[in-house]
Structure 1
Amino acid sequence: MSADEQSSRAPREAVIVAGGFGTRLLPLTTRRPKHLLEVGGVPFLAHQIGRLAQAGVEHVVLATSYRADLFEPVLGDGSRWGIRLSYVQEEEPLGTGGAIRNVAPALADDPDGAVVILNGDILSGHDLGAQLDDFETPREGRQVDVSLHLVEVEDARAFGCVPTDAAGRVTGFHEKSDNPVTRQINAGCYVFRRRVIDTIPAGRVVSVERETFPELVDDGALVVGHLENGYWRDVGTPEALVAASRDLVLGVAPSPEVDMEPDGARIDDEAEVDDSAVVNGGSAVARGARVEAGAVVAGSVVMAGAVVGSGAVITECVVGPGAAVGSDVTLERVTIGDGAVVDVAVAPGSRVDCDTVTS
């Protein structure tokens, strides 16, 4: 693209769909949206906004619903990323497609503009700039209407599948099946032509995966797949949150918000870690948290104001804000909600609700 073409191009925009209740992440989402949980030491949405800014997006709209009032105090106006950040709240949940349509008034009116759409719980390392460039390249003598980032997985039975033809055009959408038609799956990052967003029905629940995309294909719209098998993870469960956080700290997952930590841990400057404690394995310890003498924190997430008591050993755990692990307690793959106290061992994989004391 020439300098003149670049200067005349409408500002690139993006929508992050961040209205879900996060039920798979309970009890961590009892008091906050999943999109603001710290992953790799920063709120999850910071990774997505940072990637969008890197790709030249100048305006990001957050489509919010659950605990919508909590987003702006954490993320601000976008100036820290050099972008403009807007917030649109749903009065009631509208589904993925309905959420996209609901923010249309906040977007520019240019019908040919490119609008990136991100699911607010996907950590991806794919080249968004390359997907945008591919989207802007005419095919079949016309503009692309929608581009979907696709990844190829070993076992696609747990996912909806998206087959494409030899030219990369999407030919259909198939729900979960014991006999998938392809190993290509929807990776939760789309680029829409601005005018396509206005075709989504307004004011009702719409699924972009089950309704919008299949109808576009049936109507002859040019919907293409952008296949790229970079890092990709759905951060929708405590186990996935821990794994994503660990991957970010260890440099396995790329993000403009987190540098690889040579010591294998990310410890906030306002956290307290005793000199005799061990924090490693890609762990992240947030501001105001405390890790006491002789404790071991391995591959875990210790959130703001949480405490890991002296001699405790936690492995692949999440200790929620203000929660505490008692002295000499050993835990593996345990999720502890806000303010809960665990002072005896519990079964691996357990979830301890907020304000629950195990003794």
Structure 2
Amino acid sequence: MKALIFSAGKGERMRPLTLHTPKPLLLAGGKPLIAWHLEKLAAAGVREVVVNTSWLGEQFAPALGDGTRWGLRLHLIDEGPMPLETGGGILNALPLLGDAPFLVVNGDVWTDLDFGTLPDVPAGDAHLVLVDNPAQHPRGDFILHPDGRVDDDGDAARLTYAGIGVYRPAILDRWRAVIGATAGAAAQPPQFGLAPLLRHAMGQGRVSGQHHRGRWTDVGTPERLAQLDAQLQSPHG
């Protein structure tokens, strides 16, 4: 399986830290956030990883090299001055990701999840990792049913999407019809989010998920980064 790490965001909520460093390269526990993902991906048997970049993208190659230190082959894709968002980022990376299902990870989260617990092939178009709702996102995102199905319709308790999932390329097959006539869809290359495609697939019963009850942090502010760094630097990790 191949993987894509989203690393193109501007990290505006993390300023001033991200004025000179892209968010995935900020240090936590003595190493860049993205390095934690690369270690876990390699341990799970992933051998090729695509990293999409935009803001301060020139810093990734010197920081990561070609991936051999993790036993990986890295492909860096520069999206230009404007990030293509999550859906556009996947679409832009598909030539490198290929025709098989691939793993997607947000570059600005940290987790102790074993990526080896994820399915190599999702039952439908996507398999999502969901976590308990953090304080900054109390309402959650999606409903995880007892049978493993994930959807966005109903009054049941919701969990938060962890920014980690396994996707089939087919989730993008009809992206123009789902997204509609937006400025981003007309751009070259297209710029659009993944959420509408996920909700469309959920409506067809084609999204499954799992609840990760371990550690997970959305490293979205300097304060949360400092908290994570202190936890990882402590004797108990």
TM beyond 0.5? yes
Corresponding residue to 1:126 among 105, 108, 113: 113
Q: Is 1:116 aligned to residue 103 of structure 2?
A: yes
Which of 95, 98, 101 is equivalent to 2:91?
A: 101
CA distance in 2, matches of 1:167, 1:24: 37
Give the number of the structure whose residues are more often helix, by fraction: 2
CA separation in 1, counterparts of 2:134 and 2:229?
23
Structure-2 residue corresponding to 1:215: 200
In 2: Cα distance, 1:80 partner to 1:192 partner: 26
Aligned equivalent of 1:76: 65
Q: Confirm or deny that 1:148 pairs with 2:123.
A: no
Corresponding residue to 1:238 among 182, 202, 222: 222
Aligned equivalents of 2:235 and 2:192: distance in 1? 37
CA drift at 1:56: 0.8
SS at match of 1:56: coil
Correspondence 1:83-94 to 2 at 5 A? 83-91=72-80, 92-94=82-84
Give me the identity figure in percent.
36
Tell me the residue number matched to 1:300: none
Following TM superposition, by how much is the alpha carbon of 1:193 offset from its aligned partner in structure 2, in angstroms?
Answer: 1.7
What TM-score do the two structures reach when normalised by structure 2?
0.86
TM-score (norm 1): 0.58
Superposed CA RMSD: 2.2
Q: Is the 8 A contact 2:108 2:220 kept in 1?
A: yes
How far off its partner does 1:164 sit? 2.5
**Partner letter of residue 132 of structure 2?**
E
Q: 1:199 to 1:68 in 2, by over 3 A?
A: farther
Residues of 1 paired with 2:205 and 2:66: CA distance?
Answer: 35
CA shift digits 1:235-274 (9 cap, x unpaired)? 111111111111212265xxxxxxx5xxxxxxxxxxxxxx
* Whole-Å separation in 1 of the counterparts to 2:30 and 2:134: 30
Say which structure, 1 or 2, has more relative contact order (CA 8 Å, 6+ apart): 2
The question of whether the paired residues in 2 share the 8 Å contact of 1:53 and 1:83 is answered with yes
Do the aligned residues in 2 keep the contact of 1:18 with 1:62 (CA within 8 Å)? yes
Tell me the amino acid that sits aligned with residue 146 of structure 2.
A
- The answer on whether the counterparts of 1:96 and 1:206 sit within 8 Å (CA) in structure 2 is yes
CA deviation after TM superposition for structure 1 residue 205, in Å:
2.1
Report how far residue 71 of structure 1 moved: 0.3
Matched residue, 1:3: none
SS in 2 for 1:24: helix
Give the number of aligned pairs: 225
| Greater radius of gyration (CA) | 1
Q: Give unpaired runs (5+ residues) of structure 1.
A: 1-11, 137-142, 175-179, 253-259, 261-359
CA gap of 1:46–1:251, structure 2 versus 1, over 3 A, is: farther
Show the 5 A alignment for 1:255-270: 260=237
Offset at 1:200? 3.9
Q: Following the alignment from structure 2 to structure 1, what is the Cα–Cα distance between the partners of residues 64 and 14?
A: 21
Report the residue type matching 1:195 in the other structure.
A
Partner SS state of residue 71, structure 1? helix
Task: Give the alignment of 1:1-359 within 5 angstroms.
Answer: 12-91=1-80, 92-108=82-98, 110=99, 113-132=100-119, 135=121, 143-153=123-133, 158-172=138-152, 181-201=156-176, 203-209=189-195, 211-218=196-203, 220=204, 222-250=206-234, 260=237
- CA deviations over 1:26-80 (Å, ceiling 9, x no partner): 1111112111111111111111111111111110000111111110110000000
- What is the letter of the counterpart of residue 250 of structure 1? S
8 Å CA contact 2:172, 2:197 repeated in 1: no
